[in-house]
Amino acid sequence: MFLLATQSWTTFASMEERKKLQNFFIPWLRRAINLIWSHSIMLYGYAKEGSLVEMTDLCELMARDGIVPNLHCFSILINAYAKCGMMDVAILFFKDMLKQGVNPDEVTYLAVIAGYCRVGMMDDAMEKFNEMIDMGVPHNTTVYRCMIQGYLNHGDFLKAKELITEMKTKGIHPRPRKSQRIDPGYLMTQLFTGA
């Protein structure tokens, strides 16, 4: 509908007709943008509480109202389910995100990789890590740390050492950090608090 209106926008000859169309669609567009952001804030709150049922209910409500989740919504959903060890559901959201035409970023990939590392599915974590590289998504110290910590936690010291070497070869050096614990929600917190 909006595309049709914007195409017809250019066909109106008079400024008065353009103003009428603008007065109709600009508030509608603002409401749509505010609606997706309000839903993402609600999803984030439910995720922090661990309220997966409420998250699912909100997703169903969004789908019923025709609201397509944006990258932030999908990242929140994927991260919440991955933190709970429910990687099958997290991956369903990841696939749905791709199907909707939303491209994952480093936050989304980190959530998936950290979830796989948490449950010991290191082959799947490495597959997503490689996919991330192939897709041209920047991989940073945090993603490497997550993979290395996953291998160390599951006893594969050789793979951890290989990643450390690869990291150094690519010029990605670990920064000192107070806590060595990998927190996949860190970037999400940074995203919503603006830190």
Question: Does residue 18 carry a pLDDT above 90?
Answer: no
pLDDT band at 11 (very low <50, low <70, confident <90, very high): very low
Question: How do the domains of the chain map onto residue ranges?
Answer: 1-67, 74-195
* Averaged pLDDT of the chain: 77
Give CATH for domain 74-195: 1.25.40.10
pLDDT level of residue 184 (50, 70, 90 thresholds)? very low
pLDDT for the residue 1 = 42
Q: What confidence tier does 6 reach under pLDDT thresholds 50, 70, 90?
A: very low
Q: What is the pLDDT of residues 78-133, one digit of tens each?
A: 999 999 999 999 999 999 999 989 999 999 999 999 999 999 999 999 999 999 99
The answer on pLDDT for 144 being more than 60 is yes
C-alpha–C-alpha distance, residues 106 and 139, integer Å: 7
pLDDT exceeds cutoff 70 at 29: no
User: Could you report the per-residue pLDDT of 31-79, keeping only the tens digit for each?
Assistant: 555 667 777 777 888 888 888 888 888 888 888 878 788 888 899 999 9
